[in-house]
Amino acid sequence: MTKSEFLSQFHHLRVTYSEPDFPLKKTGRPAAVLIPLIDYGNSLQLLLTERAHHLKHHPGQISFPGGAVDETDNSFFAAALREAEEEVGLPSTHVDVIGMLPKYRTISGYEIAPVVGFVDPDFTPVIDKNEVESAFEVPLAHVLDRKNHLVHNTHRNNKTFPIYFIPWQHRMIWGATAAMLRNLSHHIHP
């Protein structure tokens, strides 16, 4: 998939299916992540991070650059870009933000705004080892292909909730990150 093919599918007026998220009893803590797409001309790659192994919450989990919205952030877009710069050294001047997917609520009490943007292919990650163990790229076509998605249903309070998994080489993309990629897949390939 090229950048122009992605944009023609991303900017449509159809209402698309979204995966069920966690039904919070109150408004979730605002957070934002960047879905960073690197345009190599003939293909798009997705930049993901592996969270640092010493973190208290979700150590080693595969995620997008992102985090909680700060008081200094004037929008979800600003929060996603700030977090990407803090975690992987991605300057906001190297990102062309094109939009946002529907917010996704998590069992940990966050309401995450997934911001989508194209990243300059000349960008080289500079990892903040306090937050990120590593950064790596995955072909966007792989994570958007729902044939590569695995679904496991779990039960909580007599309700069933899906947990999504997307294997990639020796890594497993799962949880909220996989669910947001699944929503992007529904948006691009309804």
CATH number of the domain within which 18 lies: 3.90.79.10
Total structural domains within the chain: 1
In a domain, 151, yes or no: no
In a domain, 44, yes or no: yes
Classified as helix, coil or strand, 5 is helix
State both tokens at 89. 């050294």
In a domain, 188, yes or no: no
In a domain, 161, yes or no: no
Rg (C-alpha) for the chain, rounded Å, is 16
Predicted TM-score (pTM) of this structure = 0.91
Q: Which residue has the tokens 């292909």?
A: 145
In a domain, 187, yes or no: no
Dist CA 56 CA 59 (whole Å): 7
Q: What is the DSSP string of 11-27?
A: S-------------SSP
User: What's the CA dihedral at 38, 17, 145, 91 to 10 degrees?
Assistant: 10
In a domain, 65, yes or no: yes
Angle at 100 between CA 19 and CA 175, to 5 degrees: 40
In a domain, 82, yes or no: yes
The pLDDT tens digits along the chain (190 residues) read: 899 999 988 987 677 778 778 777 778 899 999 999 999 999 999 999 998 888 777 677 899 999 999 999 999 999 999 999 999 999 999 999 999 999 999 888 899 999 999 999 999 999 999 999 999 999 999 999 999 999 999 887 888 888 999 999 999 999 999 999 999 999 998 7
**Amino acid letter for position 119:** V
Residues spanned by the domain of 24: 3-140
In a domain, 49, yes or no: yes
How many Cα neighbours within 13 Å face the side chain of 146? 13
